[in-house]
Structure 1
Amino acid sequence: MKKIIVFLMGLTVVAAAFTGCGGSNSSSESKESATSATEATTAADTTAETTTVAETTTEAAEEEDEENYDTGDASLDNPRNQDDIGESELLVLSFGTSFNDSRRLTIGAIEEALEKAFPDYSVRRGFTANIIIDHVKSRDGEIIDDVKEALDRAVKNGVKTLVVQPTHLMNGLEYNDVVDEIADYSDAFDKVAIGKPLLTSDDDFKRVENAIVDWTKEYDDGKTAICFMGHGTEADSNSVYAKIQELLTADGHTNYFVGTVEASPSVEDVLAKVNEGGYEKVVLEPLMVVAGDHANNDMAGDDEDSWKSVFEAEGYEVKCLLRGLGENEEIRKLYVEHAQAAVDSIK
């Protein structure tokens, strides 16, 4: 529309110039220009309206397709946005998921573990993904705070000691954004501490490796390739996936493979390694805190480019384990320990 406005202004200047010459033909040409401009505007508005309607229809269709499955009962989930919580708060920040059951069994389970470990703190929730917050609110009526809303709520509640524990896997771009946003509120509290992501120290990596191997040992029969799907990132922190793979291989878990949805190693890279091993079956599991959209669609979906479809097309018998890392007790213990280190740092 701005381009149209500029175009009309240009026509007006031209019309004024002709009028200044004082001839009758100039007046006629001016009227014709104005008429043309009006028609152009009408046509542009009509096109814009048609485009808007088309886009709205497409978005509605996509949303309808997206909701063609049941994600669970949102009413069973605790959004942890209550007020009047006292002076000490433990804010758990997650990317989030619109899959209700997975949200409760993963993020909710981590929050509950932290609540048991720190009875002197009120545990509250915040999500970094506003698109998920908006979707859950629109579909289920559940209100989840974003980071700013959660911090503003803490200020409003008179919180003096704020401990923040993100559920991020790595110290990547999103974790750094969270740290920066919290820094803007540092003067609003007497004490502030931020816990580390899941995969920070060498000990963290070793314990996560042991946790996922123990979790899948029933499928480790020598004929099955056990493949974990991470999210992936363009940042340097993507190296955590290669590090986990190196640990697994070095410790003799040569039938365990790690790949990503949006970075490297890709599903094609993982498939090539599985083909080299001569396996008969494949187990797929997300290397993510939640089993949300990526796990249900990119990993276990029926589209031809899903991990399941890619492996099935190669003749493998595929089993998908739709569970997030937050369901694993050992993983939750790690988050508790990271939060404990943050609490200890401000005593």
Structure 2
Amino acid sequence: MNKKALLVVSFGTSYDETRKKTIDQIEMDLSKTFPEHEFRRAWTSQMIMNKIKKRDGIHINNPTEALEKLHSEGYDEVLIQPTHIINGSEYEGLYHDLLNFKDKFKSISIGNPLLTSMEDYKKVAFAMSTIFPKDTDDKLILLMGHGSEHHANSAYPCMDYVFNEEGYSNVYIATVEGFPDLDTFFSQTVSNPTKNILLIPFMIVAGDHIQNDLVGDEKDSWKNILLSKGYNVDSIIIGMGEIQEIRDIFIEHAKKARQLNVES
């Protein structure tokens, strides 16, 4: 019988509490979906892995290390599911790493990131709505995404548009490191008299960006910038990985994973 492995690849986080609720939960759901596969973990952020190693003495494999180990242990089939949101540099780097292993296994397959098809965008809009308060007529909901210099950053303005098209006209996305940003949000809402804002993460884990850049105590956190402009600010700090409907999309993508081959 072929030896099968499931490799779940995440960016990673040094915040243990949010990791348990997000990355760990995604991994658990995927493991239950593919019980015939041996579960393995890999992260792509070397900076975070170095921090975990220094702080906790725990080594977490990067994708190349994980695949080398699986090959040395005689695995035949590998299913890889990333927990990345967009098809950006992290996913692109992962995909190119996999090409070095495509002839070392009988089969190696990879699922898509969260936002890949237009259907994904609609499902994510609904999934996020499950954590919105029932009455949001007097609120603007601002989601913080990571953002990227990669061209896949276009997923964020697309997601912003889809929210509006799906009937969530008071929902906006801004990013820390891309477009749209917080200034974009201000320009979009300049004529809106609503002064109540609800901040919510649009990241798989509620880690450093959320704890510091979104709701931190520093003057330049989004919370404090909004407060300084006269807004009433509230927040729901839930990583996207805590939402069952988000995890279900990753499961769907794993089930539809495409196999790499010599022509990849």
TM-score range with shorter-chain normalisation? over 0.9
Aligned counterparts of 1:309 and 1:139: Cα–Cα separation in 2: 30
Q: Choose the corresponding residue for 1:149, options 65, 83, 107.
A: 65
Q: Choose the corresponding residue for 1:300, options 195, 215, 223.
A: 215
Q: For 1:189, what is the secondary structure of its paired residue? A: coil
Q: For 1:188, what is the secondary structure of its paired residue? A: coil
Superposed counterparts of 1:247-326, under 5 Å: 247-326=162-241
Residue 142 of structure 1 and its aligned partner are, at CA, apart by 2.4
Contact in 2 for aligned 1:109/1:326 (Cα 8 Å): yes
Aligned counterparts of 2:218 and 2:87: Cα–Cα separation in 1: 32
Q: For 1:120, what is the secondary structure of its paired residue? A: coil
Aligned counterparts of 1:327 and 1:314: Cα–Cα separation in 2: 31
Cα deviation 1:304-335 (Å, max 9, x = unaligned): 11111111111112112222111000000000
Q: For 1:215, what is the secondary structure of its paired residue? A: coil
Residue 214 of structure 1 and its aligned partner are, at CA, apart by 2.3
Contact in 1 for aligned 2:102/2:260 (Cα 8 Å): no
Aligned-pair Cα RMSD in Å? 1.7
Aligned counterparts of 2:111 and 2:170: Cα–Cα separation in 1: 33
TM-score after normalising by structure 2: 0.94
Superposed counterparts of 1:210-229, under 5 Å: 210-218=126-134, 220-229=135-144
**What's the counterpart of residue 88 of structure 1?**
4
Cα deviation 1:207-258 (Å, max 9, x = unaligned): 001111222133x431111110111111221111111111111233221111
**What's the counterpart of residue 147 of structure 2?**
232
Residue 345 of structure 1 and its aligned partner are, at CA, apart by 9.2
Aligned counterparts of 2:103 and 2:239: Cα–Cα separation in 1: 36
**What's the counterpart of residue 66 of structure 1?**
none
Contact in 2 for aligned 1:211/1:330 (Cα 8 Å): yes
Report the number of matched residues. Answer: 260
Cα deviation 1:63-102 (Å, max 9, x = unaligned): xxxxxxxxxxxxxxxxxxxxxxx81101001111111111
**What's the counterpart of residue 167 of structure 1?**
83
Q: Choose the corresponding residue for 2:119, options 203, 214, 226.
A: 203
Superposed counterparts of 1:12-161, under 5 Å: 87-161=3-77
Aligned counterparts of 2:77 and 2:141: Cα–Cα separation in 1: 43
**What's the counterpart of residue 6 of structure 1?**
none
Pair 166,183 (structure 1): closer, same or farther in 2 beyond 3 Å:
same
Cα deviation 1:104-144 (Å, max 9, x = unaligned): 11111100000111110112110001110110121122221
Residue 340 of structure 1 and its aligned partner are, at CA, apart by 0.6
Aligned counterparts of 1:274 and 1:136: Cα–Cα separation in 2: 40
Aligned counterparts of 1:274 and 1:116: Cα–Cα separation in 2: 44
Unaligned ranges ≥5, structure 2: none
- The one-letter code of the counterpart of 2:131 is W
Contact in 1 for aligned 2:108/2:260 (Cα 8 Å): no
**What's the counterpart of residue 255 of structure 2?**
340
Identity %: 37
- The one-letter code of the counterpart of 1:267 is L
Aligned counterparts of 1:251 and 1:191: Cα–Cα separation in 2: 39
Aligned counterparts of 1:285 and 1:270: Cα–Cα separation in 2: 14
Residue 343 of structure 1 and its aligned partner are, at CA, apart by 7.4
Residue 198 of structure 1 and its aligned partner are, at CA, apart by 0.6
Aligned counterparts of 1:254 and 1:222: Cα–Cα separation in 2: 10
Aligned counterparts of 2:237 and 2:229: Cα–Cα separation in 1: 21
TM-score after normalising by structure 1: 0.72
**What's the counterpart of residue 193 of structure 1?**
109
Aligned counterparts of 2:166 and 2:109: Cα–Cα separation in 1: 35
Higher RCO structure, 1 or 2 (CA under 8 Å, sep 6+): 2
Contact in 2 for aligned 1:229/1:285 (Cα 8 Å): yes
Aligned counterparts of 2:194 and 2:255: Cα–Cα separation in 1: 42
Contact in 2 for aligned 1:105/1:327 (Cα 8 Å): yes
Runs (4 or more) in structure 1 with deviation over 2 Å come to 271-276, 343-346
Residue 344 of structure 1 and its aligned partner are, at CA, apart by 8.7
